[in-house]
Amino acid sequence: MPTVLFEVKENVAVITLNRPEKYNAFIRDMALLLQQHLDVCKKEKDIRAVYLTGAGKAFSAGQDLDEVVDPNGPRLPAILAEHYNPIVRMIRKLDKPVVAAVNGVAAGAGANIALCCDVVVAAASASFIQAFSKIGLIPDSGGTFFLPRLVGWQKASALMLTGEKVPAAEAERMGMIYKVFADEDFATASMQLAQTLAQMPTKGLAYTKQALNGAFQNHFEDQLHDEEVLQQRAGTTADFAEGVHAFLEKRAPRFRGE
């Protein structure tokens, strides 16, 4: 079986990390295949949202350490430069919403790949762990960038230094993730969220994503300028015209992502 599964359902690209016997721990093949699928999501017009999840009991346990200690395997610099950093960059630059559906444990790089996505939901039994300190490493895959912005510097620092496990309900309470669903409802509810996003004006969602990316480093006046530019672009889309006409005509809009 491939280490990453890919299919398209109703304009949603469903990407499933698929090493369940290893809790979907990343190896080189898996990281590069995920990048290939994200590239397809970028290029295919009919794909309007992405749903990223894991097979079996875990979302992803992070890096497969057997690969790290393999004398013929990639070294840590290559793992970051060629595996994880490209994945995180691709997710943030993708002009379509990415839903991380965290079905089980998300640890190390697995947690931080999830947290870089646009909307993160989790099953009630899922958990998040910044596991790096347990083996003498630092958080990577954008973790030191995203987590402090999600939960605050002090909380992020403590979670990274201690490697404490955060249950899904606590992750939602502290603002790390968007929402928790009961285990029995998780697959259906999380997919419905992705399908809802795929039917929305996805050009506008892409511009929102660009604005949020800029907010990470912009000053206030810079951000106001970027909002002006992006709003002008959004105002020229077919979906904006459709949304206005649908509102005035008191009917449901039919967005095409154009």
Per-residue model confidence as pLDDT tens digits over 54-78? 999 999 999 999 999 999 999 999 9
Rounded alpha-carbon distances, angstroms, from residue 55 to 132, 215, 218, 232: 23, 34, 38, 41
pLDDT in tens, 219-233: 999 999 999 999 999
Model pTM score:
0.95
Residue 216: is its pLDDT beyond 90?
no
Q: What is the mean pLDDT of the chain?
A: 96
What integer is the mean pLDDT of 153-176? 98
| pLDDT bucket at 125, cuts 50 / 70 / 90 | very high
Q: How many CA atoms lie within 13 A of 40 on its CB side?
A: 16
